[in-house]
Structure formats: structure tokens, C-alpha cells
Amino acid sequence: MSSSNTPSVGDPTARPALGIAFVLVAMVCISVNDMTIKRLSGDYPLHQMVFVRSGLGIIVSMVFVYLEGGLAILRPRRPVLHIVRALMIVMANMAFFMGLAVMPLAEATALFFVAPLFITLLSVPLLGEKVGWRRLSAVLVGFLGVLVIVGPGRAAFAGVPLWVLALPVVAAFGYAMMQVLTRALRMTAKASAMAVYIQLTFVLVGGVMYLIAGDGRYAEGLENESLVFVLRAWAWPAPEDMWAFGVLGAMSAAIGYTLSQAYRLGDAATIAPYEYASLPLAIMWGWVIFGTLPGVSTALGILLILGSGVFVFIRARQVAATVQD
């Protein structure tokens, strides 16, 4: 690939094997985070969970900042890109969790997993990477999988409006933008600093949402569960839920750091496909915690999305090997 943003042999940040290890750890943390938020979504507003988990996450992330160079690394060299990156992941999280509140965990996660396909598309205009017709065809197959899930497989989402079903796909786009920007910023920012910027943005958004809707007045009379999840009143966590908020804080810090590190150490085409590791974890949590399993049509859509992502990964590696030769 002919891009200054694609790791080369002399690029000190290019350590793809370690990047893959970081993204696999991130996927475990994301699956636990998603399961926990879905479990709490019937009792607490989304912006409260975002505020608390990111507030705790900043504390943990500052430990990584200390280990990677101290407070000096928090001064951003490209602040506009960092702001856009943070806003993209905030949008992705809010959209995904709004959908997750009313959708089965496996189905919501499967729809979100068009993110690596978006990364493949976005890496062309934003990173200058080359993507041929084979990978573009695979991307189309992946989006066909989305249509299968929300079309024939829609029986699993009885009563869920179409715009809610689209939320995980919107989240996937925001997430893909965030990861592509991570690649663009890898030479000028440490992973811990990028994680702190994201956590701080979440805290600010959660705080503003509290000031606007924290008393729950905008949730009165609403029947759509996704909107209620966003706008219901803040509530002091029950004793049995305190541990869950602690888990969210720990997972938030771990996700922010490990994902930032993964995309600093490896190119998007190499790292992104390994995010599919969280899909079987989502199916497992859906079965163990919520007693749900994907239907036949949904399973077919999942296979199309998964297969297209794997093909994109294999083809990207083949192209990279050819260029290096």
C-alpha cells in the first residue's frame, strides 16, 4: 500500500502481532462492557452510565499516562483531529447502546460489525490505502448481511422501529472513523493520552446530558425504550449494582487504551478483522445472561458479515505481501 500512514519496515510503530494481542484483549473488555450496560439499561439512563464509567476510566487511564511519559504527553499536537476522533466514538457508543437497550445482544453486535468494512472503505480517502475490486465486493456482501438481519431476520426485533435497527450501523460508521483517525494520529500521540481524551469527552457529554435531562422530564410519556434509556432520570445505584458500575469504569479504561494501542501498532486492514472475536462472545453472553440465541435468518446475516470481513482481512494481507515483495 502506498501511504505514508501505512507502517513500513522502518516504521517504529509497526508491531502488528502486538497490535493483534491488544485488539483481542479489547474485544473481551468490550463484550463485558456491552453485557453490563444491557443488564443495567432498564434501571439507569445511558448518560449516567457514560458519566460514571468514564469518570472512573480517567483515573485508571492516568496510570497509563504516568507509565508512558507523564502529564507532558497529554498536550495534543493535532487537537482538531483528537476532538473529531473523540466525538466519533461518543456518537458510536451512544448510538450502539440506544439500540442495544431493545435489541438482542448478538444481533446488535452483528450489525455493528460492519465497522471493519467501513474502516476498509474509509482507509482509501483518509489514509491513502489502496482497496481493489475483490475487497470492495466483499464489503458489499457484508452489507448484504445487514439487510438479511434487518429484513428476513426482523422477526427477532418485533416492535423495534427501523431507525432503532439502524443505530448499530450508525455506531459502526462512527467507530470506523475513530479507528482510522487513530492511525492518522499514531506518530504524534500515545495510546494513554488518546484514551484520556476520549474519557474526558464522555464525561463532558454525560455531564451536559445530566444538566439538560438528568431529572427525567423529557422521558415522561415516551414509549420508545431507546429514547427512555437516554432520557430517564438519574438514580443512585442499588447496592447490588455498585460492582457493575465499577466494572464499567475498569472496562472503559481498558478499552480506550487497548484499542488506541492496537491501531497505533498495526495498520487498519490487519487489526480490524480481529474485532470479530467479540461476536461469539456476544452470542455467549446473550445466551448465558439473557437467554437469547440468533434465529436462522440472523445467523445467515452474521455469517455473511463475518465471511466478508475475513475475506477483506486475507486479501489485505496478500496485497501487503505483494507490495513488500
Q: Kindly report, residue by residue over 213-235, the tens digit of the pLDDT.
A: 999 999 998 888 899 999 999 99
What mean pLDDT do residues 320-325 have?
Answer: 61
For 11, counting Cβ atoms within 10 Å of its Cβ (0-12 exposed, 13-18 middle, 19+ buried), the class is middle
Strands (E), 22-128: none
The parent domain of residue 300 ranges over: 16-324
In a domain, 227, yes or no: yes
Q: In whole angstroms, give the CA distance from residue 208 to residue 165.
A: 26
What mean pLDDT do residues 68-91 have?
Answer: 89
In a domain, 208, yes or no: yes
For 166, counting Cβ atoms within 10 Å of its Cβ (0-12 exposed, 13-18 middle, 19+ buried), the class is middle
pLDDT of amino acid 203: 94
Residue with the larger pLDDT of the pair 73 and 133 = 73
- Mean pLDDT, the chain, whole residue set: 84
In a domain, 122, yes or no: yes
Q: In whole angstroms, give the CA distance from residue 97 to residue 157.
A: 15
In a domain, 3, yes or no: no
pLDDT of amino acid 115: 81
Other Cβ atoms less than 10 A from the Cβ of 63: the count is: 12
In a domain, 5, yes or no: no
Single pTM value for the model:
0.80
Residue with the larger pLDDT of the pair 313 and 155 = 313
Which tens digit of pLDDT belongs to each residue from 48-68?
Answer: 999 998 998 888 889 889 888
In a domain, 4, yes or no: no
Phi and psi for 222 in degrees, rounded to 5? -80, 140
**Domains of the chain: total:** 1
In a domain, 155, yes or no: yes
In a domain, 10, yes or no: no
